[in-house]
Structure 1
Amino acid sequence: MHAPQIELHGFNNLTKTLSFNMYDICYTKTPQEREAYIKYIDEQYSADRLTGILSTVTDIIGAHILNIAQQDYEPQGASVTILVSEGPVGEASIESFSESPGPIPTSVVGQLDKSHITVHTYPEYHPTDDISSFRADIDVSTCGEISPLKALNYLIHSFDTDIMTIDYRVRGFTRDITGHKLFIDHDINSIQNYIPQDIQDLYEMIDVNVYQENIFHTKCKLRAFDLDNYLFGYTKEKLSRAEQDDITKKLKIEMDEIFYGKNITRY
């Protein structure tokens, strides 16, 4: 059962912001491997491809693109910013308000205004431990009925992700027809409810939620570890058992540091 929609006085003035941060980790033993990995990332997540991903997000949240600014940087990385305007006006779907995963993708009707979608990428590497990583930060900010959380399912499917950090916040207020303030217009207990169960099963998850402030935070780290998925251009059969163990330790420490947000004594 869904709560009945509340009739508002004027336009929905709530600002809903989804911040999706993903990390991909890779072992790159030589400078040549590192350079090849960063080149691969820049090709896979070029400004053109990122623009395509964000354009689909725009469709999912029912908006129209007003302007696109995109840039591939030297020596690495890319950024895209899309300004979007109000989508088709009409009665919003009940699904827009449900605490459930969004499409990947189909069109969802909503009402938006003064909204934007941005992405920035950050390929980088450790100075001594042969670890390279790729981070993408995506922000989807909407002022309207549909929550940008409906784009989360699609975003997760658009990236190869070892670790995800997801933040959601609703700011401001809107009013119903009696003048009563509404500081949030949809039910939410956890960001996890917007992630399909088969994806949840793949990750360890931690929630930190401040319900009285409408602030929600979820961190996710892959449960399974297969070293072959973290070697660039070869498989673990080419390594000795001692090398496999050493590389696995380095990778797991790197992932734990990102997941828990603190440095860990390495050796």
Structure 2
Amino acid sequence: MHLTPKQGIQLHGFNNLTKSLSFNMYDICYTKTKEEREAYIEYIDEQYNAERLTNILSTVTEIIGAHILNIAQQDYEPQGASVTILVSEGPVGDASIESLSESPGPVPQAVVAQLDKSHITVHTYPEYHPDDGISTFRADIDVSTCGEISPLKALNYLIHSFDTDIMTIDYRVRGFTRDITGHKLFIDHEISSIQNYIPSGIKNLYDMIDVNVYQENIFHTKCKLREFDLDNYLFGYTKEKLHSDERDSITKKLKAEMDEIFYGKNVTHGGE
């Protein structure tokens, strides 16, 4: 018999709700020449190689209180990397209501929880437009846990681990657990928005959209940087080296790319 933090409910058996966090980040850059594109891809592969990604996910494992069972990592040719970590139940300790509350997680700080049958994965996708000068780096991270706390506690740390222009975040609770009377519980903590797990200092930097299906325990948030400084999107030089017309043209291309990713449609090519 176990207690779940939600209203001190006694559970029949262990808490076997599955909580899944999918965190997608995008970094956008203007790379005018083939040489710049190749240099950008090389830079991304070096910055986010399998070894560094493994270190990031290992810290996520510590934050959610799990134990690493197995690590599989791979750097791909010509570009990209993947890491998968299988994790098992961590020390239970004093998992409190605070560990489930709607508040940003640590950067980093260990959060103790009971976990089992869980995994954490990351895949990277550097790519570029064939002739428009736009290069994009995408990283997909999935944290799936079974136990008392939400993997949203690792979200704050993940945001700080990547240079992010656009974020797409999904959180879903699946399955059910039972109280001692046999009554099913389809969620064991209160949540109104993923935004409540993002620090206010980060939220102030982004425009955000929520699409939530509360009755299905499905939560979705998209974020796009508000401020735009062209220097942050040029690879190897600054905007002072460009003519004003070229600056305007590059700015238009970059903002169009960001809008297309944020809204999920080709706004510059007649897409609906």
Q: Which residue of 1 aligns with 2:11?
A: 8
- TM-score computed with the length of structure 2 as normaliser: 0.96
Q: Which residue of 2 aligns with 1:139?
A: 142
- TM-score computed with the length of structure 1 as normaliser: 0.98
CA distance in 1, matches of 2:248, 2:269: 14
Identity of aligned residues (%): 85
CA distance in 1, matches of 2:101, 2:243: 51
Q: Which residue of 1 aligns with 2:80?
A: 77
Structure 1 residue 53 and structure 2 residue 77: aligned?
no
Match of 1:251 among 244, 250, 254: 254
CA distance in 1, matches of 2:16, 2:263: 35
Q: Residue 6 of structure 2 contacts residue 188 of structure 2 at CA under 8 Å; is this kept in 1? A: no
Q: Which residue of 2 aligns with 1:150?
A: 153
Q: Give 3-state SS (helix, strand or coil) of 1:263's partner.
A: coil
1:170-191 deviations in Å (ceiling 9; x for gaps): 0000011111110000000000
Superposition pairs of residues 1-267 of structure 1, within 5 angstroms: 4-265=7-268
CA distance in 2, matches of 1:45, 1:5: 42
Q: Cα offset for 1:90?
A: 3.3
CA distance in 2, matches of 1:5, 1:66: 31
Q: Cα offset for 1:150?
A: 0.3
CA distance in 2, matches of 1:110, 1:104: 17
1:63-104 deviations in Å (ceiling 9; x for gaps): 000000000000000000000000002331222110110001
CA distance in 2, matches of 1:193, 1:152: 11
Q: How many residues align?
A: 266
Q: Cα offset for 1:24?
A: 0.1
1:164-208 deviations in Å (ceiling 9; x for gaps): 000000000001111111000000000000000010000000000
CA distance in 2, matches of 1:140, 1:89: 19
CA distance in 2, matches of 1:152, 1:165: 12
Q: Cα offset for 1:143?
A: 0.2
CA distance in 1, matches of 2:240, 2:233: 13
1:137-157 deviations in Å (ceiling 9; x for gaps): 000000001100000000000
Unaligned runs of 5+ in 1: none
1:36-77 deviations in Å (ceiling 9; x for gaps): 100000000000000000000000000000000000000000
Q: Residue 6 of structure 2 contacts residue 97 of structure 2 at CA under 8 Å; is this kept in 1? A: no
Unaligned runs of 5+ in 2: none
Runs of 4+ residues deviating >6 angstroms: none
Q: Cα offset for 1:236?
A: 0.1
